[in-house]
Structure formats: structure tokens, C-alpha cells
Structure 1
Amino acid sequence: MQSSFPSAHDAPALTAHHRGISVLTEDGEFLTLSIAEIRERLQTMPCPLVVHAPAFARKLGLHAPGQPCPWLDLLELFAFVYPARSVAPTPRGLALALGVEEERIGQAEADLLPLLTSLMLAELARHKSSPEAEFLAALTVRLGQAGWPWAGTVAETLGLHEKLGPRGQLPEDAMQPGDALRVWRVLPKWEDVAPRPPPASHPITSAEARARLTMLLGEGAESRAGQADFASVSTAAFEPRTMRGNPAVVLAEAGTGTGKTLGYIAPASVWAERNGGSVWISTYTRHLQRQIEQETHRLFPDDATRRRHVVLRKGRENYLCLLNMEEAVNSAASRPAGVTIALAMLARWARATADGDLTGGDLPGWFGDLFGHGNITGVADRRGECIHGACPHYQRCFVEHTIRRAREADLVIANHALVMAQAAYSENAMADDSEEGEEDSTPSRYVFDEGHHLADAADGAFSAELSGLEAAELRRWLLGAEGRRSRARGLKRRLDDLVVGLPKLETPLDAALMAAHALPAPGWSTRLAGTEGENEPPPHPAEDVPAQGEDGLFPMVQNAVEPVLENPTEMFLKLLRQQVLARSQERGRADHAYGALECDLHPLLPDLAQAGQALARALGRLAEPLRILAERLHARLQDEAESLDSVTRGRIEAMVRALRRRAITRLDAWIAMLDALDHPPPADATPTHIHFIRLDRREKQRMGEQDVGLHRHWLDPTVPFAAVMAMPAQGMLITSATLRDQSDTPRKPPTEEGQTEDLYSEESERAWEAAEARTGANHFPAPAIRASLSSPFDYARQTRTFIVNDIDHGSIADLAAAYRTLFQASGGGGLGLFTAISRLRGVHSRIAPALEESGLPLYAQHVDAMDNATLVDIFRTEEHACLLGTDAMRDGVDVPGNALRLVVFERVPWPRPDILHRERRIHLSGGDTTGYDDRIARLRLRQAFGRLIRSQSDRGVFVLLDRRTPSRLLSAFPPGAEVRRMGLADTAREIENFLPRTPQN
């Protein structure tokens, strides 16, 4: 085996820096070559050591290598030796993760790579006698068969030459190479335990919260003004509820640097421990979920203990699906060798992962760049395909493991969308008098971090969309793949033996499946645009629809046997598309070509109301048998209680939940939306919902069009949020650094005695009222407890703030020149924020080469094939790197120290001027529409500024490249942060004089 693969022990090594390419030849010669020279040498050079081969190839202007990679990528070896462990994918990041001293890392030249290789191989050698030695041997042989370049070196390190037969085969009694990929056979099973009793309602005191905080901080921790006060005030959210439907709500604004994460973990952990219940900590971004989970290491330093007490929850689509993995492994022999390598590395990870989280968990964010993003999405738990209890791997399922762990955990770290979905479903289940409506025990105590995003999360959670993609996805869930390559089994195969031979179940099932043909058929998107080809299959004919059921319950199906000329959903979508194209206005922006076109629903296009009525009837014919099927399935649990085994009961319960969640609830919402076609809102009334049509257009889609649909949003999405949280929640803490649109101290000087204090009081009350409206706190019966903790930082000393007034922000070339100048002035450590992806990409392409020549590597969201967490890890590790991003980088990114010393915002972050914003601006602004827009922009600027200073020793500069910035927005910046308007050249000089200079690599 060893002879067929390159050896890493005498391989040359390559790293990149601003002077060129650092080279350590196979003869030990140390060189610095240009990109052109190294490209020529690569044609004859033995397989070299590199770090992050795809990124290195792009730096050389080469196509990213596929699998097997032609180079020895140290990240691939790291993934094999240290599975389920993340690392910044750079030579420096790898060295730090392996414990190399800073002095030895130096400028991360090529001579560092052999040292890193030897450290990893030394760790691998320790596995020769470990319990997983047999698995590693079998996996290495399988990787060798697929052509993995590291296979020879790894086999030599593991001593496989002593175990392999003359043909490279393992002994018959050992694990075989193919079995090493079949991880679903060896993963642990979960076992159900008795339901957890409801938690007690014992209150906790401020003193207890402060004592727990002191324990978490430990000796020698940085003292943060207000952190203990924050922990104290948070205890009010854990007071016993005095009236049903009236939770205790605490609104706590904690300025940047307060240390609010540990501030709420302290009282939450005390309450959970004392009362035997779970506290759900909810965030808006995955990145903050990971940060909070890392903070819990202080509470439970032992990994096994922390695993019992802390669980991170996400949606199913984030996790590895073992059934998808099995099918991918079984078909790997007929696919390229790179697929086998990816599956083998996933198998290595799956045996070590904490929870099977593929996105933002312990699978490195660069994994997809190395082994193929499609190989990850191919094994993910894709939407709508989970068959729950019918899956042969159900008891080993990562998602099911996580759900059951969450029932027993003290702290569950989730996200706003999941929390709202769980609460909403629990309420519906109780209304339906369901025996077991929810997968999780409904919690009673919540902490909503990033509380300023609650309205955004609620807007997504409680909106409805009747679009081509959504309707086609439901058809696929009901009918299966319909001839296409997919594991979408369809409802009939999911139910399988649960309905066979039972006419009371078979009849509604058959009726529903036939009625599902009214949903968009395969190829709908091309027909929608009128470009269907001659070979495109026609819609399903009317004769496919059955006649009235034997029990006489489905007379509505009888009407469907009449000739149908058009698929009713497709006809409706065509008219929606016609209306939006006729009435929407192209804005003439460079980034609009692949954006979304919108128009109001009313007045309707001729024939649209009639098409909507026809579609509503068709959807009703689908919803009714599904509803009856769910009811009769659920009735089996009582009617056959003495004969149903636990597995069958679990399958029935899961299917009833799936029918209600995935189909019936959605169909009911669509039918209600179609009813709005005949009821235009009165011109003088405040609507409850906003209806509009949107045509989504994306890059690389045929004809530039992807989807069209009717959308319904709540005018005030915090209304349904408060409604679904009022019953389960007994206490809620809503916190953020930017709850209020107000500075910590008044800016206006007094004109007469006492005026400033009165003015501040009035402004403060208005700011709190607006914060309550944005978070939904004003919809609960009892008033919220308010608290504000100031930031401990001296912004006058630690920061500088500039508005550049001589840049045409409409010119990408001028914008790029400004970013290049400012990043070079700061010597890197710059975070560039954008309000549009197209401008981000345009700036990146123009400035990346110049910054590289200056020794400032540039990374970018929506450009680099890595997730946001990995990009931030690189940014945090590489002190002179620069990073470009959009909203996700504006909120929740924590990079203390010199690694982030400059934030550049390309323009004022005004709200997007779409129909939703227009209606909310009219009806929720109280008549002050300008103030409504200003408030949104100020809060976004405050969030962006908050990325800059994260500790007492930080120094940083904030620059806004929008000369049109009105002075009324400047109160977004904290007291002491004086804003100065000046030209680009002067701003760059001020940055150079203010920021400390550090040597560049």
C-alpha cells in the first residue's frame, strides 16, 4: 500500500504570503518564488504538503482540485486524526491548534508544515493500540483503494504493513474496508426513559445568581461593570407565575462588554438545578448558539457532565441522516472515487461527533470545500424526507438522540425560529386535545438573546407562502419522487403497513394522493415561464382521480373527474407571475437583475380571483382526506391499545404529527390566503395581515427566474409570537445590546434648569415603549420589567468614528478604492460590512490582489466556500486578515483583541423599501414614517459599531462610507464616540496615527 502513495516524510512544502510562495523543497532548500514560478515547478514537483488545497489553488489562479486531491493537504490529515474538532484552515491556525509556540510559528513559512505533519502523525501513532485501531485500519485501506494521497503515510504510521496480506487485504476476522463506512451499525442507541416530572416553581434570589456568576468567572477574571447587576435583574424572569397566560417578562438592555451571556447563564442554571426543569436559551444566529455553548464549559468543565446538562438544538436539516448515509455508501461504487473519500471522512467524523450537526457543529466548516459540499447536503436530513419511526436507524438517529437529551437537560440552546415553532405546535396540539402533541417537553422558562431580532424571527415563523417551490415540495412529500432519482418515498410508502388492509385508512389515503395531482407537477418552473419543450409530460389527466370513496365520505372527489385543462396550482401561479411582471417596477440597480420583483395583491388581474377559487377547491379536496386520515390514525392508538406494540405506536404518533405539521396546517393556511383574493382590505382600516406577490430571481437559474408566489405576513408579527408564548412561558428574559433606539445619556444640553432630565425621561419612556413593541412585550398582560446596563468601555479613549465625505458610494470602483485604502491604513484587522451581496463581490474582486500584495489576506462571506463560523475563526486567528460580510457578520460576531480593529460600513443600512416595509411604516410608525426608518437604521448602526470593542484593552475605528448620512442618525453611536466627517485620505492618516502597528507576516 505504501509504495503506491507519496510519503509525507520527504515531501516538499508550500505556503503563501505577500512576498510570494514559500517553498521547502524535497532536498531541504528554502525558497521564495513567485506565483508564476511555482506554477511551472508544480508540473514536475513531487506531491507537496499544503494547507487548505482549494484555497491555495485559487491563490495560484488554478482550478480548485477535486478528490483525490493531487496534493497532501494537512487539513485532510487533521480531519482524520482529530475528527469532530474545528481549526482555522490556515498554517497558523493549524499550528495553534496543535500547540506550537508562537515563536516557532513565526511567519508560517513552508518549513512549518513538516513539523505540523510530524505532530499529527505522532498523535495518530498512539491509536495503534486504541479501541478504534481496527476501525482506523479498515478505513485507511478503503481510503487507499479510493486513491487518498495520505493513505500510504497513515498506513505506515498505524503499522498496517504487518497486518495486510500480499494483496493488501485485511485478515478475515478483522473489520473489512467496506464495513468501516457503515457507521449506522455501531453508533449508540437511545433508550426512552420515564417522562420528566414538571419542574417546581421555587424562586431564586439575586444573591444566588451573583454567587453562581462569581463561580463561573473564577479567580482573576476581568471585572465587568454591570454584569452582576444584570444577573440580579435576570432573576425576575424566574419568579413563579401568578396568573395563567401572564408570564413574567424582563427586558434587559446590556451594553456591549457587559458580559450578558454568563450573566443569564448564572440565574438560569441555578433555577434549573433547584427546580428540575429546563431553561431554553434562544438566539437568532447559529454563530451565537456556538458561542453560548462554549461559555457553558465554565459551568460544566467535564465533557460528559456537560453533555447531560447542556444540549444545542437546531432544525432537522442541520443533521446527518443515517438513512441517507447508508444509501450514499451503497451507491458509492458506481460514483467517482472522491465520493468514497468524502463518505469515509464523514464516517470517521460520525463516530466522534457529539451530536451529528453538519452545519456549525463539530464538522469543520471547511470540510465541504475539501470534500465537496454536495457530499454533505447529500447525507443531510433533507426537508420532508424523514420517515421517523419507520426508519431502520431510528434508534441511532442523531436528531432523535438530541430531542431526548433536551428533555432531561438543564440548558437547551436553540434558536428563535425553533422555539416559536415548538410553542405554536404545542398550542395547536392542546387545542386538538392530542395525547402527545409535541416531541419535546414544553419548557416554561426562556432566555431570548439577540432580542432585537424577535420580530424578524416571528415574521419568518408565522408568515405563509403559497409558491411554486412550496407547493411542489408538498406534492413531492405526498407522492414521492415521481420517477426522479430521490429518496422521497411518498406518503403511501411512509405509511406502508399501517394502512394496508384497513379500508377506513386506505380510502382517505388514496383520495388524498389523487387530489395531490392538483399541486405543481415536475417541470412546473419551465411551464410557468412558457418555455416547456415538446417532450415535457403534460399535467396528470383527470381520469387519474378516483371516484367517490366506498364509505361515501369524499363526494368532493367526484367533481375532480370532470375534464381538467390546467393544473389549478400552475394556472394560479402563471397569473401571479403575469401580474407581478406587469406591475412591479425595476429599480435600475445593478444588483436588481437577480433580486425579487413584488407587487400588491389588489386590485386583482382579470381571472385571478376565479383561478384562486378553483385552487382553493382543489386544496380543500386534498386537505379533507388528509385530516380524516390523521384522525383515524390517531384513533387507532385508543381502539387498538391492547395490541399495538411500542414501535407501531411511535410510528403512528410520528405520522400524525407529520400530517398535521407538514400538510394539513400548510393547506389550511393556503386556503385562508386564497380567501383574501375576494376580500380586499378597506382603504381606511388597519390590516391584520399583508398580502403581496413576489417573483424570486436568482443567479444561474434558467431564464433568471426561480419561483413565484402569494405571500402573507402579519402586520405586527409579535402578536402571534406573544400569543403562542403566553401559555407555555412562565418567565421570559429578552436581552440585547440594542433593544432601545437611545444613547445611554442625553445629548442635548439643558436650556433651562431641569430640562435635560425631563427630556431624558420622556425620551427614555418612548424608547422603552418602542422596544416593548418591537419585542412583543407590550402584548402580555403584565408590564415588562425594564433594565438597562451601560457598556463599561471608554469609547472616547478606545475608538474613533468617521464619515468619509468624498466617496461616490454608487461607484463600485470608488468604493473598492476606499476599502483598500482603509484596510491598508489599519494594517489589516478590518471588517467590511455591506448591505448588498453584489457590491460585496464587486469590491472583493477589485481589492483582493492588492491586499494580498500588502500582506493582508482577504476573506469574504458569499465568496469563500466556508461557513461564517470558519471565516470568523480565520479572521480571529490571522491578525492581519480582512473580512467582508453582510448582515450575519454585523450581528453576533465576537472578535476581541487586535484581530478586529477597523469596521467599515459601505452605506447607511436603511430598511429595504419593499411592500412589507411600506405597510408597516404606514401603520406601525404612529405617523412618524421618517422616524420609523431612522430607528431601524440607528439600531443596525449600533449593532455594527458593537463589533468593534469587546474588551477594556481594545482600540478600534468605525468608518461609514456614506457622505449622505444625516446627522440625526449619529445618536446611534455611544457617548464619547465623536463622529467626524472628513475625506478618505485624511481618514486613512487618522487611522494610521490612532491604531497600534504590529509586524506583518
Structure 2
Amino acid sequence: MNERIYVAVDVETTGLVPGTDELIEVAAVTFRRHEVLDTYSQLVQPRQPLPLKITRLTGIAPKDVAEAPFFNMIGGDFARFIKSYPIVGHSVSFDLSMLRAQGMNFTQPTYDTFELATLLMPQAPIYKLSALAERIGVPHPDAHRALNDAIVTAHVFNHLLDLLEALSLDALNEIMRLINKIDFPMRDLFEHTVREKTRNAFFEPAMPGRIQPPPTIFEMAPPPGLGEPQPLKPTGDARPLDYDDIAAFFAPDGPLGQQFPGYEPRAPQVHMAQAVAEAFNLSEPLLVEAGTGTGKSLSYLIPSVFFATRRGERVVISTNTINLQDQLFFKDLPALQTIMAASGMPPFTASLLKGRGNYLCLKRYYEMQRSENLNPDEVRMLLKVQLWVPTTENGDKAELLLMDRENVAWNRVNVTPETCIGSRCPHFRECFFFKARRQAEASHVLVVNHALLIADLAAQSHVLPPYAHLIIDEAHNLEDVATDQLSFKVDQAAMLKFLDDIFQTGGAQVVSGLLSELPAALQAGVDELVAKKIAQASDLIRPALVRARTAVYECFNLLNAFVIREVQDNQYDPRLRLTPGIRQKAAWQEVQVVWANMTDILTVIGTGLAEIEEQLRNLEASKVDGYEELLIQVEYLGRFAVDVRVKTGHIIFGDEAIIAWLTLDRQRDTLTLTAAPLSVADMLQAQLFAQKATSVLASATLTIETSFEFVKDRLGLPEANELELESPFDYEKQALVYIPSDIPEPNQRGYQQAIEQALIELCTVTGGRTLALFTANNALRQTYHAIQEPLEAQEIAVLAQGIDGSRRALLDRFKEFPRTVLLGTNSFWEGVDVVGDALSVLVITKLPFSVPNDPIFAARSERFQDPFGEFSVPQTILRFKQGFGRLIRSREDRGIVVVLDRRLLSKKYGQQFLDSLPNTRVRTGPLNQLPVLGERFLK
């Protein structure tokens, strides 16, 4: 057992930007495993005011630090307490950096419980100190006080040591083999554990209840499973769904009412469920706008489950956000299974499926473990995977916390189409992806996301099992996701990697790539004529690769110079859309000439790869080492050669169906070529909706002035049935919209200052409780710095996206401390669900119009006779409705929506925005009346 003495340290700070942040409290705890030996705690006086949000977070008030000593008065005592003990801390680099700024130096080992936990506690949903403490059953009172945090850190560290010591000696040696490849700050902790383990190897009894050690790569057993799922089989029962049965499920004395005391049915929810049942019965597409509070998830889940279990057919449910996906799979569907079981109804199965890249490929993982050529990021990723594999059921990357470039390293061990040999793989039976795929084949309800739904169509990769029934929730996002998934991007690095994957020479006559592997793979006994044709094709490709590399550099040098000239006057938007006017410029025609040469070279390479693929297919697999992998590699490279030639040709030379642009990343000095479809409607209609017996698209925002026409046109559903359901909430009583009539318009002088002053005065009288939505980060930051000090003087904290923490952390703090103003941009316009008084004021600072020079928006606008009225305004109304929907989230909520954009009053289109909202009172008046009105309405 480890009997060393450690010291856990923690500091609290003013929470200001780096360079101005100051200490307000320091603490340390010396401990020997599970025994606390001594403690040290001291408040520290900063030289600047203590922000209110820090007082709330820590409980340390300005008066508490006003008479505290400065750090230079207590630093010596603190250093003497720490001595030379190994230092433990949670994200300890921050604590040490703050102490070093005060002149303290540390030479002893340091151990980060955050980093250790990501290794030894994979699958923990959150790695915050308080979350880890709760997970291991350690009380954590007064979170964010230095001494308490230090004590809890010591407990967490002890638990992590328990886990580390429970690993087998073989597993530890394998970990040390990886650690020795990199500069690993906690190496000595693992070395110490190995020494102790070795010393006690013959005396230490087995310790029941500890985690099972991860086997070495030679003794890995298949991950535990739940038995082999059986694919769904049609029942032959073609009876239509009974609408009365659907309604009865929602009745007070029905299954829902029996399970939830005080349950009250909602008429819109029942109406939607019956409409979805009708879509299943009639095989007609349906668009549903269901206002906030309808309970649309159950409205489509219940008829979907009824239909799937009766027919023995699969229903796919697609969402846009992870939050909704998790809510459906981990909350709503299990609850529905319980309710139906309690009511004696037929059971149903459900599963969650993600794209290939989310799953660990055991074959690639084992190969990478044996590799001697690993960079530090790859080693750190492997360490995490090594300790995770024995415990994971799903092999899903979401269970791991991979940092920064560890995510890039994951691409060496995930499942990819170009490396997966399917049932011919020796690890096929235990393959995480195919296990998930088999589970999906056996499920009545399959939950996916929009990205996978569209990518599966575009690549025809058949990740999803066959299905004829589709529910799309958050359907207002479908066009954007389809556009993204159907886009094509390439840069110089990708082009060069493609060429290197075919053949590359290195120092000391090192060679790699496909052409270097072929001769060794073709054994004696292979048909001589076939081998000769493969060699001839290789000889054709090699000189073309040399010319291709030269052409790549020449092309991208020309493209870089062209873009720099064209965007030099715009430092904020690094994108250049390629329009007919741009392509007529002499400099661009020079690019086209060079790219035409590149196209010819790629044609030669593609032809050679196609010949190699054809000849490989003529061989017996047994005659070629690694035949399956080799064939897939050739297929992938051949496809890439064709794709990059054809799709980049569309970008360089133009295609009416394609939006093309160049993006210059000045920081990384990279240039990316991108092509996106001008329209996704035809593809969605032909390849998705026309192929399905049932297509239901649901959202809270699909109509403009009660019309679905805009969305139907965008998504390719001209003949779909429509259902618009009002929210069960009484917006007339619960909400008020106020539009100041005298505020400057966004492009007028004084607008930004007016927003700042309005927020200060309004939030002062409402006591915070405000979410302010912005359309640009620079406006958010400018407002944050302007309103923070005046509002903190009123004991109202200001939090901002991108400044004060993650989205989840910001929302948690906003809910916990009502006297708060939260400023958010894009991701806060939807998916924010704050019930109760914590959110009583919603401020929309500016109508969320698209940036006019965004390539996709600009190109699509040109298809309309009235681009602004027919495209820009409807698109913005849908976003505006999403933002508006953040305020009222329950029947008890009450609040005011302030729109600080006078264009709702001054422009003709303004009334369209208001007519698209639920039936809500709208008031206009001077800006100076806003605080009085807000205070009166909320009281």
C-alpha cells in the first residue's frame, strides 16, 4: 500500500481574465492515503474589487477579504506547509500558475486528479470535482471554498489510487510501456505503483470489489454483451392504428394517468398523436408545428411504438441535438417501456445508433498499440482507451473525455469505411459498431441524429438498417444539416496525404503507402499476368505522383495569392465566394489552367488505381497477404481520386447546382476549398421522403404567419399534410412583448449604447432573471464589459457565453442564482429550457438575419425574385420564433420579451414577425418606459 505523504492544494481567485486574475483564498491538506494529517487555509486580499459572481460561487464576500493579508504576507507560511511533498490538485496547473505568479516555485511531482480521473474513471459523465465526489460518495459541502475543495481532492485522489493499485501488474506494465514514449507528468506515480505491485506480487491476496484490470493486447476478451439480438420480423398484422386507442392512452384513467398522480391530458398532444397515427395509416407525409408545452415527444413516440410492435417494423426517430437524443433514449423511451409493461401492453425494443466514427475499431486499436511510431497525443489517447476498453459495453467515444488533439488521434482507432472489412474481420463478433448495428436491426424504435440520417443517404453506406417509417424532430434544422453533410471540403494537407497514402519516400530510404505494400503482399504463386498488370499500373502511377505533388503546391500557392488579394479589405470574413464574376478574372483563369493540369494527373492516378483494383479482384484472397485491407485501401484511394477530381473541378470551373467558396485561415496559414449544394430539397424528396412509407416532420417552429409553404419548399415536401397546434400555455396572460419605439436601428449611431443602457436599467428593476440573445460575439462582449460593473453594484451578476464557462455551467449557475443576467449567442437561441422565475425576462437584441455575404445564404438568395422578402425574412422569422420560445416553458411561467430592434415597427416586414408568434400582448412605447413596465408586469 502507498504510504507516501501528499499535499492537496486549491486556490480561489477573482475569476478575471488571465493577467488580471488574483488570489482570494489558498488552502492545502497534507494526507497519507485515507488519513488527513493537517490543514492550512487563508483568505487573501486582492488589489481589485471582488466580482459578484465569485462571491456567489464561493460564498466569499468583499468584507471577508477586505482585512485579509496580501499574499506576500502569508506566502512563506504556505510554502513551509507544502514543503516538498508531492502536490495533488484538480486541474492543478491553474492553481500552480496562480501561485507561481506570486513567486512560488515547485520542483516536486504534481498529480492532477482531473487528468487521472479521465484515465481511471472512464465513462464518468462529468469530471468536475463536485461531480466526481458525488460519484464516489464523498460529501462536498461548500463547493468552491479552497479548504473544502482541497479535502475533497484528497479523497478523490485516494479513490484514484485505489483504482490504480487494483490494476494487474501486466496491465500496469503495458501502461508504463506507453507512458515511457512521452513526457508524462505523472510517470513517477505509475512507476511507484508498479514497484509496490512487484514487491507485493507474491503476498497480496486478490481484492474483491475492485475494478477488473484491463487485459494486455494478447489476452483481451470480448466485451460483455447481453446476448445476440434477433432482427425484427414483420408480424403480418396490417390493421390500421385505432385513433380512439391512441386517445385512451393519454386519458386520465389511461396508462399515463395511472402512472403519474395529478396527470392532466393536453388536447394538442392528443391531437398530434392521432395525426401521427393517421400518417402511419395513410402513408402520407406530415408536417407538425407543435408549440412549446405540447409534449410532442410522447405525441410521436406512442403511435410509433404502437405501429412498430403491431407490424414488426422499425421506426427511425431523428433529432438534431444531443440533448433531445439523450432525453428520448435515456428518459422518454425507458419511461414508456415501464408504463406499457405496467399496463400489460406488448413490450418494445429501442436502440441508439451513431455514425461509424463514434465507435472504437478493435482491429485498428490493437494495431496501433503495437506501433512504435506514436506521437504524444496518440499515446495519451491510447492510455485512455486502454483503461476504458474492458469496461465499456458500447465502445462509444462519447464515454471518453478526449482533450484537444487526442480527438484527432481517435481517428486512428475508430471505425471508418476505408478500413472496415466487415464480417471478414477477426474481431467482427465483438465489434462495437456491428453490435450496435445488430441491436438497431432488432429494435422497434431506432434513435439517430440528422447528421447520420443524411450522411447515410449521401454515402449510401447503409449504416442504418432498412426502414420505411421516419419521424424527424427539430425539423427546422434539417436543411442546414443536409447542406453540411452534402458539402465537400479539401485543402492542401488532404491532397498531399492522399498522394502519400499511395506512395511516399522518406529518409534513409524509408518508403510507405499502397505501392510499397503491394509487392510484399503478392506472394509467389500469384498469377504472373495479374502481378505484371499490377506492376505496370504502379509504374504508371509513380511518375504521376511526382507531378501531382508539384501541381498541388503550384495550385494552392496561386489560390492563396488570389484569395489574399480579394479579401485583403475584409479582415473579419476570410471567405471568398466563387461567382461568375470572380471566375472571369485573369488571375482566376490562371488558376483554372493549372488545375486543368492537376485534373489530367488525377485522371492518370485514378485510372491506375482502378486497374490495380480490377486485377486484385481477379486474384484468390488466400494468395495475397492482407487481401481485404488492401482491396478496401485501393477502393478508398480510387474513390478519393475521382471525388477530388470531379468535385474540385466543380469548385474551380463552376457548376450551377453548386455553391463554391474559399476559406483562408490566417492563423494556421491554410486554405480550404468548399462546395455545398445550392438546394437540398430535390435530394431530400427523391432519396428520403419518396422512399419512405411514413415521414413525419415536427418542430415548434415551422410556420410563417400560419403558413408551412416556406419550409415545404426548402425541404422538398410540396404535398405534405399540415398540422399547426397552438401551445397549451396562455401567452395572452403569461407573456408580454415590448418593442421600444425610439431606440436607434441596428445600423444607426447610438444603437449599441442604447442596448447597454436598456439592459442596465431593465435588469436593475427586475433583479436580473434575464436572458439576452445576441447575433454576434463582438456585440455580446462589448455589452458584457459595459453592463457588468453597473449591475454588480446592484448585486446582479452578469454571465456570458464564451467568457464565463461552458453552456451547461452557465445555465446551471443561471438557474441557481436568479439575480443573474445571461448573455448568449447562436446556441442559446434554441434548446435552453429554464422553468420558473429564474428566467422572467427575454431580451432579443437584434433580429437574427443571416450575414448577407455568407456564401450559402448569398447564393440561395439569388434564386428568388425578391430575395429579402421571400427568403431572408421567412428564414429569420423561424429563428426569431426559436428565440421567443425560450421564455415560457410551463403553465406557471410568466415573463416579458423585449425586442430591442425597432425594425419590427419601422419596416413593413415587422408585422410578419409578430403575426408568426403565439397570441401574445404586444406593447410599444419609449425606451425609458421599459423598466417601469417590466417591473409592473412581473409583480
Into which bin does the TM-score normalised by the smaller protein fall? Answer: 0.7 to 0.9
CA 141–970 in structure 1, closer or farther in 2 if over 3 Å, else same = same
CA 402–856 in structure 1, closer or farther in 2 if over 3 Å, else same = farther
1:922 matched residue in structure 2: 862
CA 993–49 in structure 1, closer or farther in 2 if over 3 Å, else same = farther
User: 5 Å matches for 1:239-318?
Assistant: 239=281, 241=283, 248-294=284-330, 295-300=332-337, 309-318=349-358
> Match for 2:410 among 379, 397, 410?
379
* Secondary structure of 1:441's aligned partner: coil
Deviates more, 1:68-77 or 1:380-389: 68-77
Q: Does the CA-based 8 Å contact 1:844-1:860 persist in structure 2?
A: yes
Structure 2: distance between partners of 1:845 and 1:482: 53
> Match for 1:949 among 863, 880, 888?
888
CA 438–927 in structure 1, closer or farther in 2 if over 3 Å, else same = same
> Match for 1:798 among 734, 745, 751?
734
Q: Does the CA-based 8 Å contact 1:323-1:393 persist in structure 2?
A: yes
User: 5 Å matches for 1:612-627?
Assistant: 612-627=595-610
Structure 2: which 5+ runs fail to align? 17-21, 30-37, 48-68, 340-345
Letter aligned with residue 313 of structure 1:
L
Letter aligned with residue 735 of structure 2:
T
1:86 matched residue in structure 2: 125
2:917 matched residue in structure 1: 973
Is residue 2:671 matched to residue 1:707? Answer: yes
Q: Does the CA-based 8 Å contact 1:626-1:659 persist in structure 2?
A: yes
How many residues are treated as equivalent by the alignment?
857
How far 1:769 moved relative to its partner? Answer: 2.1
> Match for 2:466 among 442, 463, 470?
442
> Match for 1:595 among 574, 587, 591?
574
Is residue 2:6 matched to residue 1:6? Answer: yes
> Match for 2:272 among 230, 248, 254?
230
Is residue 2:699 matched to residue 1:720? Answer: no
Q: Does the CA-based 8 Å contact 1:809-1:815 persist in structure 2?
A: no
Letter aligned with residue 206 of structure 1:
Y
CA 469–38 in structure 1, closer or farther in 2 if over 3 Å, else same = farther
User: 5 Å matches for 1:488-887?
Assistant: 497=521, 501=526, 544-545=542-543, 567-577=550-560, 579-581=562-564, 583=566, 586-587=569-570, 592-593=571-572, 595-601=574-580, 602-603=583-584, 605=586, 606-630=589-613, 658=636, 662=640, 664-665=642-643, 667-671=645-649, 676-677=653-654, 687=656, 689-698=657-666, 700-702=667-669, 706-709=670-673, 711-726=674-689, 728-742=691-705, 764=706, 767-778=707-718, 783-803=719-739, 806=743, 830-840=770-780, 861-862=801-802, 884-887=823-826
CA 477–922 in structure 1, closer or farther in 2 if over 3 Å, else same = same
* Secondary structure of 1:297's aligned partner: helix
Deviates more, 1:377-386 or 1:15-24: 15-24
* Secondary structure of 2:697's aligned partner: strand
Q: Does the CA-based 8 Å contact 1:690-1:916 persist in structure 2?
A: no
How far 1:784 moved relative to its partner? Answer: 1.2
Structure 2: distance between partners of 1:60 and 1:206: 68
How far 1:910 moved relative to its partner? Answer: 0.8
Q: Does the CA-based 8 Å contact 1:499-1:506 persist in structure 2?
A: no
Letter aligned with residue 668 of structure 2:
Q
Structure 2: distance between partners of 1:94 and 1:905: 37
* Secondary structure of 2:660's aligned partner: strand
How far 1:723 moved relative to its partner? Answer: 1.5
Letter aligned with residue 687 of structure 2:
V
CA 853–150 in structure 1, closer or farther in 2 if over 3 Å, else same = farther
1:356 matched residue in structure 2: 395
Q: Does the CA-based 8 Å contact 1:816-1:843 persist in structure 2?
A: yes
> Match for 1:471 among 487, 495, 504?
495
Q: Does the CA-based 8 Å contact 1:354-1:362 persist in structure 2?
A: no
1:185 matched residue in structure 2: 220
* Secondary structure of 1:404's aligned partner: helix
Is residue 2:828 matched to residue 1:889? Answer: yes
Letter aligned with residue 707 of structure 1:
L
How far 1:600 moved relative to its partner? Answer: 1.0
1:451 matched residue in structure 2: 475
* Secondary structure of 1:296's aligned partner: helix
How far 1:266 moved relative to its partner? Answer: 1.7
Q: Does the CA-based 8 Å contact 1:165-1:171 persist in structure 2?
A: no
1:388 matched residue in structure 2: 420
How far 1:797 moved relative to its partner? Answer: 3.3
Letter aligned with residue 661 of structure 2:
I
Structure 1: distance between partners of 2:649 and 2:298: 46
Q: Does the CA-based 8 Å contact 2:575-2:662 persist in structure 1?
A: yes
Deviates more, 1:592-601 or 1:934-943: 592-601
* Secondary structure of 2:918's aligned partner: coil
Letter aligned with residue 2 of structure 1:
N
1:434 matched residue in structure 2: none
Structure 1: distance between partners of 2:693 and 2:108: 55
CA 192–701 in structure 1, closer or farther in 2 if over 3 Å, else same = same
Q: Does the CA-based 8 Å contact 2:548-2:598 persist in structure 1?
A: no
Higher relative contact order (CA 8 A, sep 6+): 1
TM-score of the superposition, structure 2-length normalised?
0.74
* Secondary structure of 1:185's aligned partner: coil
Structure 1: distance between partners of 2:160 and 2:610: 56
Structure 1: distance between partners of 2:360 and 2:125: 17
Percent of residue pairs bearing the same amino acid type: 23
CA 275–291 in structure 1, closer or farther in 2 if over 3 Å, else same = same
1:940 matched residue in structure 2: 879
Is residue 2:243 matched to residue 1:206? Answer: yes
Structure 1: which 5+ runs fail to align? 242-247, 427-436, 517-543, 546-559, 680-686, 743-763, 997-1001
Letter aligned with residue 792 of structure 1:
P
How far 1:255 moved relative to its partner? Answer: 0.9
Deviates more, 1:661-670 or 1:441-450: 661-670
CA 960–240 in structure 1, closer or farther in 2 if over 3 Å, else same = closer
Structure 2: distance between partners of 1:106 and 1:176: 30
Structure 2: distance between partners of 1:807 and 1:56: 46
Q: Does the CA-based 8 Å contact 1:830-1:903 persist in structure 2?
A: yes
2:54 matched residue in structure 1: none
Structure 1: distance between partners of 2:218 and 2:924: 60
How far 1:204 moved relative to its partner? Answer: 3.0
Structure 2: distance between partners of 1:341 and 1:98: 24
What do residues 808-827 of structure 1 show as CA deviations (whole Å, max 9, x unaligned)?
Answer: 86787876676677666655
Is residue 2:255 matched to residue 1:219? Answer: no
Structure 2: distance between partners of 1:942 and 1:234: 24
